[in-house]
C-alpha cells in the first residue's frame, strides 16, 4: 500500500470561520499510536454539523466538520488492535474508551474522552492530523468526516459487518442511533402509547420510526416546515402540528388533543423553546420528555418548578444512550437482517465534491438526510 506511513493529500471541506465552508486540498498525516486513518466512503449531513459550521455548537476554527461517517480503514497506528486495514468501519462522535466512569457504568454512554463538551478540536495527544496551506486545521468531535481521509482515535471507530452497504450505513452512526435509539432504547416507548416529536428532520424522522416500531398508537409530529409532513406520515406520524399556524402554544394544543398530555415527548431541533414545549406536552404524572437536540452551551431551560414534582421525567440522550463500540455494529446487523429499515431516512445522495449543493438542499428544508458519497 503506497500511502502507508505517508501524509496523504486529499479533498476536504474546511470551515475557515463561521458560515464559511470551502473544499480544499488538505494534508492528512499518518495515524499515531492508538489512532486509525480511514478512507471515507459516505457521510451524512446532520443538524449538528450545520450547528458547528454556524458556530451554534462551540468548536475551534478552522476545522473539518462531519461526524456521521462510514469508511474503510487505510492504516493503523501502533497498538491498535480492534480494527485493521481493509475493515469497514463507522466513526463515533462519542467514543467508548471502556475505562472511564461513563463507560464502566451499566447505563452511561457519554464517555469522558468525548470532544463535544467542551471541544478541543484536537486528537487525544493534543495535536491535529490536518494541515492546509501551512495552517493547522482542527478536528470536530474527533471524527471530521467531510474529507476523503480522516484520522480518529481507536476508541472513536468501530468495525462493522463486511456486508454493510457503504453508501447508506453511515447514518447508523448518528441519525439512526440518535433518533431511533432515543425512542426504542432511551425512552423505551411502550405499545399503545401516545407520542409527540418536535422536529421532523433526519433525527425526528428516525424517532418517529422508533415510536412506530415500539407500537405507539398515536404519534404527533411538530414542524414549522410542512414539506416534511408527507414523508413523516409515511413513517408513522398520525397527526401534524405547525406551531406557526396555531393561535395558541403548541403544548396547549397537544394537551387538548390527548386530554392528559402525551406519554412520550421528544425534542429533535435543539431550541430551548421547543424543549420547554416538549416538556409541557407530557402527561403530568408519568410523561417522559426526551431531549435530543443539541443547543448552544450557554442557554438555560426555564420550567414551571411546581410542575416538576408531579412525576414527569426529563431526560437527555446522546446517540440513543448506546455504548457506541458495543452497540453500533449490532444496529448495522439489525439493518442487514431487515429488523430496522433505515432506507426511508435517506432522501438524497450526492458526490462529496457537490457538498455545497448538498447544503443548499439541506437549508432549503428538502431533505430528511442527504448522504455524501466519496
Ligand atoms: N419548531 C418546529 N420545528 C422546527 C423549528 C421550530 N421552531 N425550527 C426548526 N424546526 C424543524 C426544521 O424544519 C427541521 O425539519 O426541525 C427540523 C430539524 O431537522 P434537521 O435540520 O434535519 O436536523 P437533524 O439532523 O434532524 O438534527 C436535529 O438533533 O442531533 C441534534 O444537533 C442536532 O439539534 C439538532 C437536532
Ligand atoms: Zn449527528
Give the Å distance between the CA of 296 and the centre of ligand 2.
15
Q: Separation of 98 CA from ligand 1 center, angstroms?
A: 31
Q: With a 6 A CB cut-off, is 269 part of the ligand 1 pocket?
A: yes
- Which ligand is located closest to the Cα atom of residue 43? 2
Q: Is 363 a catalytic residue?
A: no
Q: What confidence tens digit (pLDDT) does each residue in 287-326 have?
A: 999 999 999 889 999 999 999 999 999 999 999 999 999 9
What stretches of the chain adopt beta strand conformation (E)? 8-17, 20-28, 35-44, 69-76, 88-91, 130-132, 135-137, 149-153, 157-159, 194-198, 218-222, 239-241, 264-267, 288-291, 313-316, 348-351, 370-373
What sections of 56-201 are H helices per DSSP? 101-104, 175, 181
Which residue is catalytic, options 97, 111, 174, 282? 174
* Binding site membership of 121 for ligand 1 (Cβ less than 6 Å): no
Instruction: Find the catalytic residue in 48, 75, 128, 214.
Output: 48
Say how far apart CA 294 and CA 178 lie, in whole Å. 11
Q: Whose C-alpha lies nearest to ligand 1, atom 19?
A: 201
Tens-digit pLDDT profile for residues 71-130: 999 999 999 999 999 999 999 999 999 999 999 999 989 999 999 999 999 999 999 999
Q: How far is the CA of 82 from the centre of ligand 1 (A)?
A: 35
Q: pLDDT digit string (tens) for 336-372? A: 999 999 999 999 999 999 999 999 999 999 999 999 9
State residue 246's pLDDT score.
Answer: 97
Task: Give phi and psi for 201, each to the nearest 5.
Answer: -80, -150
Provide the pLDDT for residue 230: 97
Q: How far is the CA of 92 from the centre of ligand 2 (A)?
A: 10
Q: Look-up: residue for cell 442527504?
A: 370
Active-site option among 42, 67, 185, 289: 67
- Cβ 51 vs Cβ 57: under 8 Å: yes
Contact 121, 115 (CB under 8 A): yes
Residues 6+ apart with CB under 8 A from 358: 45, 348, 350, 370, 372
Confidence category of residue 70, pLDDT binned at 50, 70, 90: very high
Measured between alpha carbons, how far is 318 from 12 in angstroms, rounded to an integer? 27
The closest ligand to the CA of 68 turns out to be 2
Give the residue-averaged pLDDT of 165-178.
98
Average pLDDT rounded to a whole number, residues 55-82: 96
Q: How sure is the predictor about 1, in pLDDT bands with cuts at 50, 70 and 90?
A: low
Tell whether ligand 1 has an atom less than 6 A from the beta carbon of residue 221. Answer: no
276 ligand 1 Cβ < 6 A: no
How many angstroms separate the first and last alpha carbons of the chain? 19
Q: Read off the pLDDT of residues 214-265 as tens digits, 9 standing for 90 and up.
A: 999 999 999 999 999 999 999 999 999 999 999 999 999 999 999 999 999 9
Strands 20-28 and 8-17: antiparallel
Q: Can 67 be counted among the known catalytic residues?
A: yes
Distance of CA 82 to the CA centre of its chain: 23
CA angle at residue 83 from 82 to 87, to 5 degrees? 150
Give the list of residues 6+ apart from residue 110 with CB closer than 8 angstroms, or none. Answer: 94, 102, 318
- What band does 2 get if pLDDT is binned at 50, 70 and 90? confident
Taking the centre of ligand 2 as the mean of its atom positions, its distance from the CA of residue 93, in whole angstroms, is 8
Q: Grid coordinates representing 242?
A: 405547525
At which residue does the C-alpha cell 444512550 appear? 321
Q: What residues contact residue 176 under an 8 Å CB cut-off, 6+ apart? A: 206, 331, 335, 340, 342, 345
Contact 294, 59 (CB under 8 A): no
For ligand 1, atom 3, the nearest C-alpha belongs to 223
Q: How would residue 58 be classed by pLDDT, with cut points 50, 70 and 90?
A: confident
Output the pLDDT for position 289.
98
The answer, yes or no, to whether any atom of ligand 1 lies below 6 A from the CB of 228, is yes
Taking the CA of residue 367 as reference, the ligand 1 atom at the shortest distance is 22
State how far the Cα of 139 lies from the Cα of 129, in Å rounded to an integer.
8
Q: Could you give the CA distance from residue 184 to residue 196 in angstroms, rounded to a whole number?
A: 14
Q: Is 208 in the pocket of ligand 1 (CB under 6 A)?
A: no
Q: Of the candidates 138, 135, 152, which has an alpha carbon nearest to the alpha carbon of residue 61? A: 138
348 is annotated as an active-site residue:
no
pTM: 0.97
Please report the pLDDT score of residue 257 as a whole number.
97
The answer to whether the CB of 294 is under 6 A from ligand 1 is: yes
**Residue 347, ligand 1, Cβ within 6 A:** no
> How high is the pLDDT of residue 134?
97
**Statement: residue 7 has pLDDT above 80:** yes
- Best residue among 183, 250, 253, 269 to mutate for probing ligand 1's pocket (most ligand atoms within 8 Å of CB) is 269
Instruction: Compute the average pLDDT of residues 38-43.
Output: 98
Phi, psi of 119 (to 5 degrees): -105, 120
User: What is the pLDDT at residue 297?
Assistant: 87
For residue 137, the model assigns a pLDDT of 98
Q: Which ligand sits closest to the CA of 177?
A: 2
Ligand 1 neighbourhood includes 165 CB (under 6 angstroms)? no
Q: Residues with Cβ within 5 Å of ion ligand 2?
A: 46, 48, 174
Q: What is the DSSP string of 312-349?
A: -EEEE-SGGG--HHHHHHHHHHHHHTTSS--GGG--EE
Amino acid at each position: 500500500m503506497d500511502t502507508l506511513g505517508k501524509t496523504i493529500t486529499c479533498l476536504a471541506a474546511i470551515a475557515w470561520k463561521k458560515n464559511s465552508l470551502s473544499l480544499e486540498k488538505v494534508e492528512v498525516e499518518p495515524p499515531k499510536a492508538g489512532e486509525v486513518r480511514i478512507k471515507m466512503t459516505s457521510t451524512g449531513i446532520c443538524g449538528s454539523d450545520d450547528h458547528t459550521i454556524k458556530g451554534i455548537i462551540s468548536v475551534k476554527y478552522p476545522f473539518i466538520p462531519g461526524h456521521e461517517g462510514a469508511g474503510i480503514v487505510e492504516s493503523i497506528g501502533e497498538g491498535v488492535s480492534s480494527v485493521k486495514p481493509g475493515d469497514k468501519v463507522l466513526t463515533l462522535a462519542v467514543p467508548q474508551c471502556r475505562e472511564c466512569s461513563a463507560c464502566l457504568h451499566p447505563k452511561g454512554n457519554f464517555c469522558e474522552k468525548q470532544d463535544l463538551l467542551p471541544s478541543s478540536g484536537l486528537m487525544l495527544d493534543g495535536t491535529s492530523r490536518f494541515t492546509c496551506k501551512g495552517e493547522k486545521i482542527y478536528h470536530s468531535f474527533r471524527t471530521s468526516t467531510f474529507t476523503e481521509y480522516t484520522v480518529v482515535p481507536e476508541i472513536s471507530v468501530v468495525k462493522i459487518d463486511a456486508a454493510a452497504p457503504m453508501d447508506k450505513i453511515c447514518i447508523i452512526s448518528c441519525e439512526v442511533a440518535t433518533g431511533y435509539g432515543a425512542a426504542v432504547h432511551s425512552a423505551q416507548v411502550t405499545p399503545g402509547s401516545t407520542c409527540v416529536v418536535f422536529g421532523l428532520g433526519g433525527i425526528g424522522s428516525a424517532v418517529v420510526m422508533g415510536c412506530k416500531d415500539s407500537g405507539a398508537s398515536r404519534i404527533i409530529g411538530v414542524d414549522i416546515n410542512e414539506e416534511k409532513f408527507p414523508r413523516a406520515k409515511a413513517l408513522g406520524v398520525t397527526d401534524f402540528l405547525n406551531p406557526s399556524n396555531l393561535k395558541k402554544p403548541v403544548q396547549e394544543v397537544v394537551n387538548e388533543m390527548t386530554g392528559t398530555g402525551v406519554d412520550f415527548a421528544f425534542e429533535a431541533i435543539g431550541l430551548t423553546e421547543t424543549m420547554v414545549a416538549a416538556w409541557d406536552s407530557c402527561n403530568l404524572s408519568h410523561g417522559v420528555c426526551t431531549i435530543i437536540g443539541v443547543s448552544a452551551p450557554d442557554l438555560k431551560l426555564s420550567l414551571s418548578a411546581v410542575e416538576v414534582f408531579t412525576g414527569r421525567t426529563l431526560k437527555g440522550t446522546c446517540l440513543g444512550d448506546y455504548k457506541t463500540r458495543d452497540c453500533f455494529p449490532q444496529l448495522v446487523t439489525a439493518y442487514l437482517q431487515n429488523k430496522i429499515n433505515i432506507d426511508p431516512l435517506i432522501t438524497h445522495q450526492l458526490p462529496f465534491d457537490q457538498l455545497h449543493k448538498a447544503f443548499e438542499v439541506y437549508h432549503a428544508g428538502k431533505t430528511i438526510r442527504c448522504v455524501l458519497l466519496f
